[in-house]
């Protein structure tokens, strides 16, 4: 009888151990995040955990994790990964950032730069040439006052659906007085805001210039500059 009880007890313990082990294995099972592009940085609950891929493991009190993924030239993505998600592998594809694709980094953005006019170009001709260049890039000028030596454009806004942002650009030109020769200061103002920003709100200076405006500086320099 004792032998039978020992056998029954052994089988019960073995059965419990198997069930416990199975439950533990199921509980400890992770979900692998695989990100494209593979150089994307992965953050779990705000903490950097790796590039390209990472296995998420849930603790007893964890129902979900907050995941943030970012990569240069791509739109950042935030999402929740839930414990009850049936997928073992979760693929995350980042969208190309169309504001980056359509712009260039520029140290001239939101900064005045000076063009010294070469001696064979007088004030009237310089003003005419600068106006022509401006109208090559903008449909109209908001202000063009030769007497005060000032001209500027309206803000031109372009929207970018993939990144859900909008970029606005304006150019200002002012004649410099008191120098040895004729010169002008030019400023390309470049600002960015979320697509849902209302009016002037939400825009902030952007250290990039849209590609279609980027040649403006060199064109002005070649038309009137002394170097």
Contacts of 46 (CB under 8 A, 6+ apart): 66, 68
Task: Give the domain range for residue 47.
Answer: 30-95
Transcribe 85-150 into DSSP letters.
---SEEEEEPPB-HHHHTEEE-TTBTSEEEEEBPTT--HHHHHHHHHHHHHHHSS--SEEETTTTE
64 domain-assigned: yes
Instruction: Write the CATH number for 56.
Output: 2.60.40.1120
10 domain-assigned: no
Residues 88 and 123 in one domain: no
- Distance of alpha carbon 29 from alpha carbon 56, whole angstroms: 9
Residues 69 and 112 in one domain: no
Neighbours of 36 (CB within 10 A): 14
Residues 137 and 50 in one domain: no
pLDDT of residue 198: 84
pLDDT of residue 19: 42
CB 126, CB 70: distance < 8 Å: no
Q: Which of 123, 31, 36, 40 is nearest to 82 (CA)?
A: 31
140 domain-assigned: yes
- Distance of alpha carbon 140 from alpha carbon 133, whole angstroms: 11
Among 80, 95, 110, the domain-final residue is: 95
Among 43, 64, 95, the domain-final residue is: 95
Residues 179 and 85 in one domain: no
141 domain-assigned: yes
Q: What is the pLDDT of residues 7-65, one digit of tens each?
A: 444 444 444 444 433 333 333 467 899 999 999 999 999 999 999 999 988 887 888 88
Residues 155 and 219 in one domain: yes
161 domain-assigned: yes
17 domain-assigned: no
Residues 75 and 140 in one domain: no
11 domain-assigned: no
Among 43, 61, 95, the domain-final residue is: 95
Residues 156 and 217 in one domain: yes
H or E stretch including 9? helix 2-28
pTM for the full model? Answer: 0.74
Residues 123 and 90 in one domain: no
Residues 77 and 55 in one domain: yes
Task: Describe the crossing of helices 123-137 and 216-224 by its angle, rounded to 10 degrees.
Answer: 160
pLDDT of residue 1: 52
Sort 63 into a burial class: Cβ within 10 Å, 0-12 / 13-18 / 19+. Answer: exposed
Q: Which of 174, 177, 180, 185 is nearest to 119 (CA)?
A: 180
* Residue the block writes with tokens 């414990």: 83
Q: What is the pLDDT of residues 166-197, one digit of tens each?
A: 999 999 999 998 777 899 999 999 999 999 88
* Residue the block writes with tokens 């494209």: 36
Neighbours of 27 (CB within 10 A): 12
Residues 128 and 186 in one domain: yes
**Can you tell me the mean pLDDT for 118-146?**
95
Whether residue 153 has pLDDT greater than 70: yes
pLDDT of residue 25: 32
**Count: domains in the chain:** 2
Residues 175 and 137 in one domain: yes
């Amino acid at each position: 009888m004792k032998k039978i009880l020992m056998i029954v007890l052994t089988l019960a313990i073995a059965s419990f151990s198997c069930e416990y082990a199975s439950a533990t294995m199921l509980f400890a099972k992770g979900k692998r995040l695989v990100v494209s592009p593979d150089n994307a940085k992965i953050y779990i609950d705000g903490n950097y955990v790796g590039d390209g891929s990472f296995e998420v493991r849930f603790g007893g009190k964890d129902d979900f994790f907050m995941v943030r993924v970012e990569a240069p030239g791509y739109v950042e993505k935030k999402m929740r990964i839930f414990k009850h998600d049936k997928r073992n592998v979760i693929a995350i594809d980042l969208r190309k950032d169309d504001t980056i694709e359509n712009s260039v980094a520029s140290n001239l953005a939101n900064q005045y730069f000076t063009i010294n006019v070469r001696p064979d170009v007088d004030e009237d001709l310089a003003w005419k040439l600068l106006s022509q260049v401006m109208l090559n890039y903008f449909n109209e000028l908001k202000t063009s006052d030769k007497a005060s030596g000032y001209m500027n454009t309206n803000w031109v806004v372009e929207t970018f659906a993939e990144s859900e942002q909008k970029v606005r650009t304006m150019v200002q030109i002012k004649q410099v007085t008191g120098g040895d020769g004729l010169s002008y200061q030019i400023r390309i103002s470049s600002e960015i805001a979320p697509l849902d920003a209302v009016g002037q709100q939400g825009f902030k200076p952007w250290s990039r210039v849209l590609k279609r405006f980027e040649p403006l500086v060199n064109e002005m320099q070649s038309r009137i500059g002394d170097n």
